[in-house]
Amino acid sequence: MGILDSLKNAATTLSKTPATPAASSPNPAASAKAAALVGSKVAPKELSPAEVEAIIEAKVKEKGKPSNWKVSIVDLMAALDMNSSLDSRKALAAKLNYSGSHADGSAEKNNWLHAELLKALAKNEGKVPSNLL
């Protein structure tokens, strides 16, 4: 029997074997591994606000300095090891497509920027997306 015949026999045997319940139900871990093997990207899990908060709190605690990151964009960016200067905040607002009319450094613009940065962290497993650095 040649190699081709062996492969045909194996394929016939597999097609006649009934699927077990475990084989027919999707396995998320196996699906993720299979997708990675074929070069597909599996979307990262979006974190909850509580999970993002825990990550930032750990960073703040590690730094050992008081921080008002929950309301201050400057403190949030500092906690994330980002440059928090006015020019950096202007650039970050541009990268996040700020379209409001508020002046640079205004409370409204800073509040918007703070919220958008937290959303970006949640969508990127708690890490600052590389396009925002």
pLDDT at 105: 87
| Of 124, 114, 46, 34, residue with least CA distance to 82 | 114
pLDDT at 25: 44
Our count of domains for the chain comes to 2
Q: Are residues 8 and 66 in the same domain?
A: no
Q: Are residues 116 and 53 in the same domain?
A: yes
Q: Are residues 33 and 53 in the same domain?
A: no
Rounded (to 5) percent helix, strand, coil in the chain: 60, 0, 40
Q: Are residues 85 and 26 in the same domain?
A: no
| Of 89, 80, 87, 90, residue with least CA distance to 118 | 80
Q: Are residues 9 and 54 in the same domain?
A: no
Residues of the chain with confidence (pLDDT) below 50: 14-15, 17, 19-25, 31, 34
Q: Are residues 32 and 57 in the same domain?
A: no
